[in-house]
Structure 1
């Protein structure tokens, strides 16, 4: 349930609504806006005496949120949520930040070289896995804490924000210590205990769509993070699996406008995992920005042919630099911009 206040509602009237919601045994969540304040209700609103609340002074209307996800819904919050993971790196507004780097952190030289290339080309955040969930237990699993330390070193040298994945609660604590944004990968999208846990850490969360997940599933997973009091959730479309083997996954461009209609949360696009093929990454990144993506997450490696993971989908440095130029042009054409670090 969402209580929409009158534009001129006083603070005491808003407090009175919150007190009544608390009296009925529920938790109020005030959400001040530019024009008016709304008060959300956490809990089973079927048990709420909403008619009494609707009659309180300063209340304009009461909306019953019908979606199974509440705080993630557009009904809950009409304005777009803007998530800032570091100074100047914002998702959900007019800017379209570019996050890039290798699939995994392999060495100090490799990640520092990658960070310099990302910064020089115009990216604002560095991605790179310290913990790598791999299909095979014999594949490279990442450097762990050492990888996080190298990412932090790259941030100190280049100023890039850091986005990296956590696989479990212990790893989430480490990622929260070293990184600016905790990524939850596709394989963990429905790891609800992990989602609840990262929701308590006070760090922005980038939540990737599962390989067989519907958009409804994705938004319900985001709800687990939001329900723990963390409003800073960035969704990520990274492709779903289908019967077609032409690409690694099916990159679902329609997820971008669909999410924008259903939710106030920003959604970024990952065409690297979405296609799994280097020559498909650039056209799909261009299409994603044109479709309204709030950011691009793309893999780039200084030497893709020597990468320890996902080399086939990693752009060469010169391809990445050209892509950034193209994305700037597309963003400008639709009234947006690709930011750079100052």
Structure 2
């Protein structure tokens, strides 16, 4: 349930209404929008009469029920306003969200060595990327596949950050590694295989760094948003959703099926920023530019693109990685007006 206050409501009245809601056994959460203030009510609200709440103050404009099971993630919860995730980086603040420039995250699947990660970071920054992605800890289907270099790779990401000023996005697989990863990463990634690792979601929700939540390979949109709800409910409002392809019946020509229809659906359902990962979504570098352009045309707020200086020798996911030259070319196209993206 949400309380929508009239424009210009005095701060003293907002606090009075919030205090009153506490006496009802509810937890009020103030949401300051561009035009109005909304108070979200967390607790047992099913039996509450909205008219009774409206009588508390003449400054209350509406009292509305949030019909979706994902309460905090729902667009209704912010009275239709999109949220922004503001990430401080050495090069300045970067804003993820509707109405802002598309943020591009780029880099290799795995951090392999210092020269490789530094070279890649410099190239993607020069092309216009704002964040470097790179796995220190890698979940792999086979226990015999390269699992990442772990903690030593975090040092290499820190070196790349110091050299370029790029923000860092890297995956957390185990809550035991959370603290040391958060020392380096500006955004913590929860991968597709951990989307419903609820204990991990609670842990990342209890810390302040923004969280990039990838969609599970077999997850419905509602399951994905309910996973985001775990993070939001734990106290962290800074969640970015990342569509990275889902598993369907066709596995011969693409690695996954990139669900671009999720963009308008999410825009209707949630206030959270939306990222698209066309690299995992297709599995083949030759298809990545087309799907990146399609994602921007559909309204994505951000892109995550795998880039490797020598994809043929990559320790993981080389087939879906662009070379730095290919990434340069794609970025030049993405920076053109939207009408030219199909050319």
TM over 0.5: yes
One of 85, 88, 91 as aligned partner of 2:87: 85
Deviation string 1:246-279 (CA, Å, 9 cap, x unpaired) is 2100001111111011111000100000000111
| Superposed counterparts of 1:207-218, under 5 Å | 207-218=213-224
Structure 2 length-normalised TM: 0.95
Q: Tell me if structure 2 keeps the 8 A contact 1:241–1:249.
A: yes
| Superposed counterparts of 1:331-342, under 5 Å | 331=338
Q: Tell me if structure 2 keeps the 8 A contact 1:96–1:331.
A: no
1:72 maps to 2:73: yes
1:242 is matched with which residue?
Answer: 248
2:31 is matched with which residue?
Answer: 31
Q: Tell me if structure 1 keeps the 8 A contact 2:209–2:238.
A: yes
Task: State the SS of the aligned residue for 1:242.
Answer: coil
1:270 is matched with which residue?
Answer: 277
Deviates more, 1:27-36 or 1:46-55: 46-55
Q: Tell me if structure 1 keeps the 8 A contact 2:307–2:323.
A: yes
2:44 is matched with which residue?
Answer: 44
1:34 CA drift (Å): 2.6
Q: Which runs of 4+ in 1 moved over 4 A?
A: 330-334
1:131 maps to 2:137: yes
Task: State the SS of the aligned residue for 1:76.
Answer: helix
Task: State the SS of the aligned residue for 1:126.
Answer: strand
1:10 is matched with which residue?
Answer: 10
1:42 CA drift (Å): 1.2
1:49 CA drift (Å): 4.6
In structure 1, how many angstroms separate the alpha carbons of the residues matched to 2:44 and 2:180?
35
1:43 CA drift (Å): 1.9
Question: What is the alpha-carbon root mean square deviation over aligned residues?
Answer: 1.3
Structure 1 length-normalised TM: 0.95
Structure 2: 5+ residue runs without aligned partners?
A: none
In structure 2, how many angstroms separate the alpha carbons of the residues matched to 1:243 and 1:44?
42
Deviates more, 1:309-318 or 1:78-87: 78-87
In structure 2, how many angstroms separate the alpha carbons of the residues matched to 1:333 and 1:233?
31
1:95 is matched with which residue?
Answer: 101
1:98 CA drift (Å): 0.7
Task: State the SS of the aligned residue for 1:81.
Answer: coil
1:141 is matched with which residue?
Answer: 147
Structure 1: 5+ residue runs without aligned partners?
A: 335-342
1:122 is matched with which residue?
Answer: 128
Q: Tell me if structure 2 keeps the 8 A contact 1:166–1:172.
A: yes
1:283 maps to 2:290: yes
Deviation string 1:102-150 (CA, Å, 9 cap, x unpaired) is 0000101111111011111111110000000000111111111111111
In structure 2, how many angstroms separate the alpha carbons of the residues matched to 1:301 and 1:81?
32
Q: Tell me if structure 2 keeps the 8 A contact 1:249–1:273.
A: yes
2:21 is matched with which residue?
Answer: 21
Q: Tell me if structure 1 keeps the 8 A contact 2:136–2:171.
A: yes
Task: State the SS of the aligned residue for 1:84.
Answer: strand
1:60 is matched with which residue?
Answer: 61
One of 311, 314, 336 as aligned partner of 1:329: 336
Deviation string 1:162-194 (CA, Å, 9 cap, x unpaired) is 000000111222221111000000000011111
In structure 1, how many angstroms separate the alpha carbons of the residues matched to 2:11 and 2:339?
41
Q: 1:65 to 1:299 in 2, by over 3 A?
A: same
Q: Tell me if structure 2 keeps the 8 A contact 1:151–1:162.
A: yes
- Matched residue pairs, number? 334
In structure 1, how many angstroms separate the alpha carbons of the residues matched to 2:161 and 2:339?
28
1:12 CA drift (Å): 2.3
One of 317, 323, 326 as aligned partner of 1:316: 323
